[in-house]
Each structure stands twice: as structure tokens, then as C-alpha cells.
Amino acid sequence: MKKLLTLLTGISLSLIVNGQNNLVTKEQTFIHETSKEYEWPTDPSVLEKIEKWQDAKFGIMFHWGIYSVPGIAESWALCSEDRWFTDRRREALPGSTYCEFKKWYWGLSESFKPSRFEPTEWATFMKKVGFRYLIFTTKHHDGFCMFDSKYTDYTVTKGPYKKGKYSNITYHVFEAFRKSDFMIGAYFSKPDWHNENYWDPFFATPTRNPNYDLKKYPEKWAKYQEYTANQIDELMSDYGKIDILWLDGGWVRKPQQDIKLDEIVQNARKKQPGLITVDRTIPGRNENYQTPEQAIPQEQQNFPWESCITFSNTWGWNPNPKYKTSEWVINTLAEVVAKGGCLLLNVGPDGEGNIDDIVYQRLEKVGEWLHKNGTAIYDTRTTPNYHSGNTWFTANKNGKTLYAIYALPENEKLPAYIEWEGNIPTGKITLLQNGQQMKYTCRNGKTRITLPKGIKEESLVFHFNKAKR
């Protein structure tokens, strides 16, 4: 019997992380709402894969496509329904009409030639700094395929990069990250605005939805259903082992826009047993984990979920990025894991395949912290008393050994002591990074640790066994 969980505590999402950063910026255009129900999978192989994914905790996401050439907000400027999208068009191509803009945008495919793209360098670095799974944009809403699809000519393998060293970009990204022991996830947009059976070029495109009456033209929609199924089948058949199918475009759903996803997933799992499917924002059998976007649930959740958050102020690359700090990433990772989730951090390479130097510099610091303290993050599970002040708690799988992660607020110095309420320790408390035993006292349900002098100014992790009740 399927287990359907109504989320009573997770409906409201915090847009403030660690009391400091508002995650939704004016540069970002559309934020998907999170599902309010969760249905546990029944397939044992899927449950096993979810367990493995929950061990990984930290994922890297790449939004990369033709929008990276000028550095605009992904596909969204093509959509005429929202004022923000209109502003993006005006900024990207001043003085243009909507039709002129669309022609210009579609033509960006002729400028996408990432001659500096080196997938092995990406994978090697991202492994070194602590990421353990990958989500890569194989196709965004604009329909441009970052893989070699035989069902359209609008692909990277048929553009100016067709003779490039890594022309089938998705294949080479997946191969490089798979060799670095990453779980592999394929982002795929269910809507495809370039496809004539989604946006018919004969009609105007007033919204993000199909621009024709599906009931009036059922044969067109049937062709689109087949097109979508065929492209997903390509990804499941020709790109090695895939762990996650990450589906975006939550407005494409039953009954209005039925793409026969149940059949697609069933066929996909014949080739990719245990495949995790993430049909974002649509509760049910195909949303195997939830994806609060640019947000973290206010409370701990007892089902699989992932916060997908940008490292800069946009999903794709932009020429004037505002990157979050290393400390922000570390503290956010601690909060997400303590609440039972995984953190998917997004980076946008530019049109040539470069990743900004500041990304490497700041993630290097995250990797240094995880090298010392990763035991408190990876392979852990939640503990009921998971938060006290600036301290977040995780547990190893036996539930007896706890980790207290003191998230040092940005631009602050370590205090003379750290104190938390609950989770009373028994025996010694050690500093995880070096095994140093800490002096502490317990009084009135509170634990106070006196910090030694000379300790580095950073988020600290303490390791201890919890006292039995």
C-alpha cells in the first residue's frame, strides 16, 4: 500500500538562510513552489538508490546552454507572460521587439562554441572539494539540446561546436563525473519552446504553455508526447549509468499537459534500474524526492528532499555575478543536512566553458573544511533535537554518535565558549578536525564547551556520544 505523507511542517519555506541571505534575488525570474505531499516509492531498487543519494548530501548542478553566451537568465526571456522576463529582453537586446528578440535568442545556438570546456577538470575539482552527485542540464526550456539527439537539429552536435573535442557535451560530462565516482543526474525540461508541437510558430506565444488548443489539435500533442519520450529514452540508453532523472517545468502535468510520464519512467527503469525520478512540484509516484528551490524548509523533514540553490545570483552564468561566500556554503550545508536534506549547489559556466576563478577559490575553502569535518555531513542521518542557536546536529546511522556543527556567522569571531541546549553528551567531546578533547560542563540541560586559544576562526564540529535517557 502506497504511503502518502501530507507535509504539515514543510509547507512554509524559509527564504532566509542562517538569518543572513535572502535567496531570491531580483535577477531570478521564476521560483517553483514545493509540493505539499510526498509519496514513498514502493520499488526496492528505487528505495536503495534514494538511500545512497541521501548518503551523498552535497551535489553540484550546472546550468549551461546557449543562454550562457550573452549571460542572460536561462530560457526565460523567451516567455512573454511576466514583467521580469520583459525586463530581461530589454537588457539583453535593447530596442528589439518581441519577435526580433526570439529570433536573436534562437540564433544564439550559432555562437555556442565552448572551446575551453574540459569536463575532466570540472569533475576532478568538484570531487576534490567534496561534491558527490551531479545534476546537469541536458535541455532547458528553450529546447537546445546539450546532447546528440536525432529527433531535432537544435543540438550542440549540429552547431559550430559539432567538430569540437567534446561535442556531445552531456556524454562527456557524465563520463568524466562518473569516473570520479559521482552519482549522475540528468536535468531535462518537459516543456520545449523550440519544438513546433509545443510552441507552434504559426501562433503567438503568450504564456509558457502550449500555444494551441490541445483538444483541437490532439495529433500535435501526440507528436510532442512521442518527441519527449524519445529524447528521454536517448538519455537513458546512450549515456551510461544514470542515477537521477531531474524533470523541470512543473506546469507540464496531468490532466492539461499529459506527456504520459508514467510510461516514460517505466521504460526508463528497464534500462536504468532503480532510477530516481524527480518530477518537480508534482506529488506522486514520479517525485521521488522534493526540491525546494532557493529555499530551505523551516523544520526538519522525514522524507527525501533537496534544496537547489544558486552559488551566484542567477542559475546560468552572468557577466556581473554576486557569489555567496565559502562560509555561507558550509553553514547552509550544515543546516540542510541537519534538517534531513541534501544541498544541490548550482554553478553556471560561461559560453566558452569557463568557470569563474572565484568559484574555484571559494569552493576550495569548502573542500578544506569538508576534508576535516565531512564525517559530520556524509552518510549521516537526522537526530530529533537538531538545532540549538548556531549549532546544528547530525547523527551517524546508529543514532548514538552525534555531531554538533557550530555554524560560525559570517564576519564574526569565535566566542570564548559554545553552548547548546539538549543532546547531553556522555563521556568525552572531541573536536572532529583533529581529535582534540574539549573541556565542557553540563548544567540545567545545557552543554558548554570552552574553546582553547588559537583555534582557527571557522565553523567547528564536535563529536560525542549522546547520554541515554
Taking only the tens place, the pLDDT of each residue in 382-418 is: 999 999 999 999 999 988 899 999 999 999 999 999 9
Q: Please give the grid coordinates belonging to residue 190.
A: 518537459
Q: Which of 3 and 76 is assigned the larger pLDDT?
A: 76
Q: Please give the grid coordinates belonging to residue 42.
A: 514502493
Compute how many other C-beta atoms are within 10 angstroms of the C-beta atom of residue 186: 27
Residue 4 has pLDDT above 50, yes or no: no
Q: Which residue has the cell 548514538?
A: 400
Residue 2 has pLDDT above 60, yes or no: no
Residues 63-113 have pLDDT tens digits of 999 999 999 988 999 998 877 788 889 889 999 999 999 999 999 999 999
Q: Is 408 helix (H, G, I), strand (E, B) or coil?
A: coil
Residues 133-158 have pLDDT tens digits of 999 999 999 999 999 999 999 999 99
212 burial class (0-12, 13-18, 19+ CB within 10 angstroms)? middle
Segment 333-347 shows an average pLDDT of 98
Beta bridge partners of 37: 6
Across 117-147, b (16+ Cβ under 10 Å) vs e yields: bebeebbebbbebbbbbbbbbbbbbbbbbbb
Global pTM value? 0.94
pLDDT of residue 23: 53
Handedness of CA 83, 86, 91, 94 (dihedral sign): negative
Strand order in the sheet with 439-443: 417-421, 446-450, 439-443
Beta bridge partners of 136: 62, 186
Give the H/E segment covering residue 333.
helix 326-338
Instruction: Tell me how far apart the alpha carbons of residues 357 and 361 are, in angstroms, rounded to a whole number.
Output: 6
**Tally of CA atoms within 13 A in the half-sphere of 110 that contains its CB:** 5
pLDDT of residue 30: 57
Instruction: Tell me how far apart the alpha carbons of residues 429 and 59 are, in angstroms, rounded to a whole number.
Output: 30
Across 151-164, b (16+ Cβ under 10 Å) vs e yields: bbebbbbebebeeb
Residues 258-315 have pLDDT tens digits of 999 999 999 999 999 999 999 999 999 999 999 999 999 999 999 999 999 999 999 9
> Residue 18: which of 458, 431, 406, 423 has the closest Cα?
406
pLDDT of residue 468: 72
Amino acid found at 262: D
Answer yes or no: are the C-beta atoms of 192 and 227 closer than 8 Å. Answer: yes
Instruction: Tell me how far apart the alpha carbons of residues 62 and 163 are, in angstroms, rounded to a whole number.
Output: 23
pLDDT of residue 18: 35
**What contacts 362, CB < 8 A, 6 or more positions away?**
323, 324, 325, 326, 329
Instruction: Tell me how far apart the alpha carbons of residues 468 and 423 are, in angstroms, rounded to a whole number.
Output: 10
